[in-house]
A and B are shown apart, each in its own frame.
Chain A
Amino acid sequence: MPNEENKSGAQKAAEAEVESFRKDLGPFVVAAETTRMAMVFTDAKEPYNPIIFANDSFLSLSGHDREEVLGQSFNFLMARGANPEALAEIEAAFEGSSGSDPEIRYRRKDGSVFWASIYISPVRDEGGDVVQHFASFMDLTKHKQEKDRLRFLLDELNHRTQNTLATVQAIAVQTLRGVADKEVVDAFEGRILALSKAHTLLGRENWDGVGLRDVIDQILQPFGLNDRRVARFSVEGEDVRLQPQAALTLAMVFHELATNAAKYGAFSNDAAGQIAIAWQVEPTPHGDRMRLRWQESGGPPVTPPGRKGFGSRLIESGLAQELDGEVRLDYELAGVVCQIVMAVPQGGGWMAP
């Protein structure tokens, strides 16, 4: 433990310096001493960055006494309790080469853990030389705990959603058993599964939205999207990030289109037909809009259905209402064509999560 006798001359000089700016900067030093934000100053002129000032908040955050901290190398003190990944970041921050503020998990002297982000900045003298480093700590422990709790709740929500869908599936199948055709039961199950897959994707992305390509992948996979033996699908377009509601609606729409193709359209005659899906995003004065085209070919000649079923109703009115979009579903002789124009989030649609 350092005392007056074994303090180095350099350290005594550094402490004298703190004393001198205590005189020069009176109110600011009092502010630094009493703020609830943990703060330390280190002496940049010494190679091991000794701590020359630590406020009370830092002492209570780290669990150390002032005597254990003053004169101690900053990195050494951090290395005692911080997670190893954070140490390299702290070093980079001291050298000014870090792009972001390091987040550390720190084990106090008594073993309890706190999370903090550290902001490190140089203090320069009149000549521009770095004479001190200033490090402040933002306590993130509560924030991390809340994040963990949110993660837990989201997992629970996803789990309950899927369980509820399984119960709905069970009720419907039991209710329809012996009353409805197998075809009806299959159609219902297919729709519930499509909805469930969209929910799984959204759950994985914390309900922030989901990529159009992931939606296409999940929904069309049972229809042979990734079947290497026969390439029946072509999918072209840069990935677009969809809002949750748009992702759910489009998942259901793709499911209906593909089911229809398998029953009556391009996939109804032994792998001869093709489905091409292509889209682009265009900027407009009202924000970015996506134009998507679903085009079938190579199936039997198309005849428009006599009455509108669930699928075409969902596609034509559901989409337009829910997506602030326009939809055209054409039963052309050579193959069904569905054209969708809808709003997507700004900036090409894709934003890193």
Chain B
Amino acid sequence: MTSPLSGRRVLVVEDETMVAWLLEDMLADLGCAVVGPAARVNQALAMLDAEAIDAAVLDVNLNGQMSYPVADALAARGVPFVFSTGYNKVSLPNSYQSFPVLQKPFDRLKLGDTLAKLLTPEERGV
């Protein structure tokens, strides 16, 4: 069976350059094609319009600006995503609590598992 991740296009939204590189490398190791990284909300929204995207890893706090508009746009398009954050999950507003969260620093096994779940339709929402 081929990995559910191979060749999938994953948008990286992350404002810290080195952390973005790390995510790019981790995603490449998982067989994904990286879109981005986008460091700002408007950049991310523009990429969403311009590119085909299968899933996204979305930093919650982009240099002081919350990335919730990107989350809303992804949800509206039906693109699955995972938040990445150094905060505890409980600090997300209630309406975003149901989305998966990846804690920083990243556990590459968890990143792979979470994306595989998001990109395997029958397992979505499990």
Q: A residues engaging B (CB < 8 A)?
A: 155, 158-163, 165-171, 173-174, 177, 189, 192-193, 196, 200, 203-204, 222
Contact = CB atoms under 8 A, between A and B. Distances in A.
Contacts, number: 65
B46 interface: no
A170 B104 CA distance: 11
The secondary-structure label for the interface of chain B is mixed
A167 B88 contact: no
A101 to B, nearest CB: 29
The secondary-structure label for the interface of chain A is helix
8 closest A-B pairs (Cβ-Cβ)? A162-B86, A170-B22, A166-B104, A170-B18, A166-B105, A163-B86, A169-B105, A159-B86
A93 B91 CA distance: 35
B21 interface: yes
B72 interface: no
A160 B22 contact: no
B108 interface: yes
Interface of B: 16, 18-19, 21-22, 25, 61, 85-88, 91, 103-109
A168 B109 CA distance: 18
B103 A196 contact: yes
B66 to A, nearest CB: 13
Given A161-B86, A177-B25, A169 B106 contact: yes
B19 A167 contact: yes
B16 A200 contact: no
A222 B103 CA distance: 15
Contacts of A162: 86-87, 103-105
Contacts of A177: 25
A165 B91 CA distance: 19
Given A189-B108, A222-B109, A170 B103 contact: no
Contact of B22 (A155, A173, A196, A200): A173
B25 A173 contact: yes
27 contacts: A155-B87, A155-B88, A158-B86, A158-B87, A159-B85, A159-B86, A159-B87, A160-B86, A162-B103, A163-B16, A163-B86, A163-B104, A165-B105, A166-B16, A166-B86, A166-B104, A166-B105, A166-B106, A167-B19, A171-B18, A173-B25, A174-B25, A177-B25, A189-B107, A192-B105, A193-B107, A196-B105
Contacts of A173: 22, 25
Given A162-B103, A177-B25, A222-B109, A170 B86 contact: no
B19 A166 contact: yes
B15 to A, nearest CB: 10
Contacts of B16: 163, 166-167, 170
Contacts of A159: 61, 85-87
Contact of A203 (B18, B19, B88, B109): B88
A158 B89 CA distance: 12
Contacts of B25: 173-174, 177
A130 to B, nearest CB: 45
A174 B105 contact: no
A174 B86 contact: no
Given A171-B18, A174-B22, A200 B88 contact: yes
Given A163-B86, A166-B86, A200 B21 contact: no
B14 to A, nearest CB: 10
B95 to A, nearest CB: 19
A155 B91 contact: yes
A189 B104 CA distance: 12
Nearest to B84: A166
Contacts of A174: 18, 21-22, 25
A161 B88 CA distance: 12
Given A162-B104, A192-B105, A169 B22 contact: yes
Nearest to B17: A170
A210 to B, nearest CB: 14
B53 to A, nearest CB: 23
Nearest to A156: B87
A174 B25 CA distance: 9
B88 A204 contact: yes
Q: Which of A161, A166, A168 lies at the interface centre, i.e. has the most chain B CB atoms within 10 A of its CB?
A: A166
B37 to A, nearest CB: 12
B86 to A, nearest CB: 3
